[in-house]
Amino acid sequence: MQENEKGRRDFMGMALGACAAVGGVGALYAAKRSWDPLPSVAAAGFTEIDVSGAQPNVLNVEKWRGKPIFVLKKTEDMEKDERDVIVGKDRFLIAIGLCTHLGCIPAYKDGEHKFKCACHGGEFDASGHQIFGPPPSPLVIPPFKVNGTKLVLGEEGPEYKKMKDAGLIA
């Protein structure tokens, strides 16, 4: 093969390779985007819950973005905690009801004031702190905003931001 011929073929090979590479990267990006959560799913809106009728030491489970949300009104004699959400005069535990180990839903034992996870034996107290087993961190507090006797989940209110800055949400 002549020198100029070789150069020409190398150029054609590289041009083809470059075009294929651009197309390949584009296709990979499209594939990645197709796996992304859909906008309708991602925008799954804000959930408003009314806590005025809550009974002390009775766990209510609400649903937000497909996840269970624990709403537990604390009794007077339950220990105060920095993670308590105060609505009116009442103190609440508001937390995503998924064990921080591997995402099972712990069950509330009202006699012991404890959450127990059946999957791997993890336990949390009534403020959501991990007290036994494999969970590495407390139950996560979802973004919330206090609005009278109501809570808006998904929106970051001032109380939530304060907790977040103090590193208390998880």
Partner 1 sequence: MAHFDENAKPFSNKWLDERIGLNTLMRVLNTEYWIPKNINFLWAMGMVLAATFGILLVSGIFLLMYYKPDANLAFDSINYTIMSEVGYGWLWRHIHGVGASIVFLIIYIHMFTGIYYGSYKRGRELIWLSGMGLFVAFSAEAFSGYMLPWGQMSYWAGMVITELFAGGSLEAVGLVEWIRGDYVPGDAYLTRFFMLHVLLIPLVIIGLIVLHFGTLRLPHVNNQEGEEIDYEEAAKLYKEGNVKESKVIPFSPVFLSKDLFVMGVYFILFFYLVFYHFDFAMDPVNFDPADGLKTPAHIYPEWYFLWSYEILRPFSKDIGLIAFAFAQVVFFLLPFMDRSPNVAPAHKRGLFQIWFWVLLVDMIILTAMGKLPPTDPTFAFVGLVSAVLFLLMWPILIIITKFEKKIEKGA
Residues forming the site for partner 1 (CB under 8 A): 35-38, 41, 44, 61, 63, 65-68, 101-105, 107, 118-121, 134-136
Determine phi and psi for 5, rounding to 5 degrees.
Answer: -65, -45
Q: Report in angstroms how near the CB of residue 68 gets to partner 1 at its nearest.
A: 5
4 or 34: CB nearest partner 1: 34
Q: Report in angstroms how near the CB of residue 140 gets to partner 1 at its nearest.
A: 10
Task: State the Cα–Cα distance between residues 123 and 59, nearest whole angstrom.
Answer: 16
Q: Report in angstroms how near the CB of residue 88 gets to partner 1 at its nearest.
A: 27
85 forms beta bridges with 92
32 or 80: CB nearest partner 1: 32
Are 110 and 58 in contact, with CB atoms under 8 Å apart? yes
135 or 138: CB nearest partner 1: 135
Q: Report in angstroms how near the CB of residue 76 gets to partner 1 at its nearest.
A: 29
Are 101 and 122 in contact, with CB atoms under 8 Å apart? yes
Task: State the Cα–Cα distance between residues 45 and 50, nearest whole angstrom.
Answer: 17
CA distances from 103 to 36, 61, 65, 129, 140 (A): 21, 15, 14, 15, 11
136 or 158: CB nearest partner 1: 136
